[in-house]
Amino acid sequence: MEVADFLEFTPRTIINITNHYIEGGLLKALEDDPRPGRPVKFDDRVKSRIVATVCSSPPEGFDRWTLELLKEHTEREGLVDQISKESIRLVLQEHDLKPWQEKMWCVAELDQDYIDCMEDVLDVYQRAYDPTRPVVCIDEKPVALQGEVRDEKPMKPGSVRKRDGEYTRHGSANVFCAVEPKKGKYINTVTKRRTGNDFAKFLADVGRRYSEAEQIVLVMDNLNTHGKKSLTRFYGEERGGELWNRFEVHYTPKHGSWLNQAEIAIGMYSRQCLGRSRTDALEALKKKTKAWNRIANRKEITINWEFTKKNAREKFDYR
């Protein structure tokens, strides 16, 4: 069973949890019935060693600590004679440790340039909503084009959808993403490449969609194509310059992509539109993306950004 393999439980445990849920709901599934006999207890010394182990590098050949590895290590080191994987799981749960999860978090040296860029972007996010000067965040995402070798087996009662692990490669595509967080407006555009010319055309499209705005406040990372030169090279000095002047540009600092709310919008698009399905052609990806844009914009899902300069100064301990 896929769930059992992922959680490192036995199939019988998954079946028991499912039956408990059916019989008594979520609470019944989460809480075990009282068991006979004296409960197994481990002192703080054992727990602290387990915590220290899971926070250290895993054995060679493994990317992370698994419950099975922790069990073997704990018993081999003589911390206890015997311990179950469930007992280790409870120790990890008690200390809010999840070795199977990770987040990308990289902050460069917190020099004055980084602070200035960060606080500039955070100031932009604190502005009151103004339709004449909308705040729009931009980013892009590469997408692999893959085709199925064999047809999927559709989901039906009692079984999950099945898909073959083998696939065919059909190159890659790029998706430019623009989001107006306070309005819940999304613009995702599929392109074959991510060149300066592609960026120039996308920015022109954003400008057309905000034709009634006095100026568009733009937040994006400082990629080499994200500049005035891309527009003047493609549209010429006069037209490219006029288009660039439609924007009030604010760059996130290096290693500061977490400050770009377009990252949140791309996450939504990736989960809801792309998911785990495979798309083998550029036109098919464009069609899916257009449909997602239409629904997302109808719902007007806003992004509630709460991280402020005050939070930044507390988080990074600077004044």
H/E segment holding residue 143: strand 135-148
Distance between CA 273 and CA 190 in Å, rounded?
13
Give the structural domain span for 54.
Answer: 2-94
Structure tokens that stand for 110 in this block: 């917190």
The reply to whether 52 falls in a domain is yes
Sign of CA pseudo-dihedral 265, 269, 275, 278? negative
Q: Does 197 share its domain with 87?
A: no
Mean pLDDT of the chain: 84
Is 82 found in the same domain as 129?
no
Residue 13 lies in a domain: yes
> pLDDT tens for residues 102-133?
665 556 678 899 999 999 999 999 999 999 99
In a domain, residue 103? The reply is no
SS (H, E, C) 174-200: EEEEEEECCCCEEEEEEECCCCHHHHH
CA–CA distance, 13 with 8 (Å, rounded to integer): 10
Residue 263 belongs to a domain with what CATH number? Answer: 3.30.420.10
Same domain assignment for residues 58 and 177: no
Number of domains observed in the structure of the chain: 2
Distance CA 269, CA 241 (A): 31
Single pTM value for the model: 0.67
Looking at the fold, whether 72 and 10 belong to one and the same domain comes out as yes
Q: Are residues 129 and 276 in the same domain?
A: yes
Are 129 and 260 part of one and the same domain? yes
Q: Which is more confident, 43 or 265?
A: 265
Q: What's the pLDDT at 44?
A: 67
* 161 assigned to some structural domain: no
Is residue 296 in some structural domain? yes
- Answer for the pair 282, 173: CB distance below 8 angstroms, yes or no: yes
Mean pLDDT of 24-36: 60
The rounded distance, in Å, linking the Cα atoms of 241 and 231 is: 7
Cβ atoms 172, 143 nearer than 8 A: yes
User: What is the tens place of the pLDDT at every residue in 176-186?
Assistant: 999 999 999 99
Tell me the pLDDT tens digit for each residue of 273-286.
988 788 889 999 99
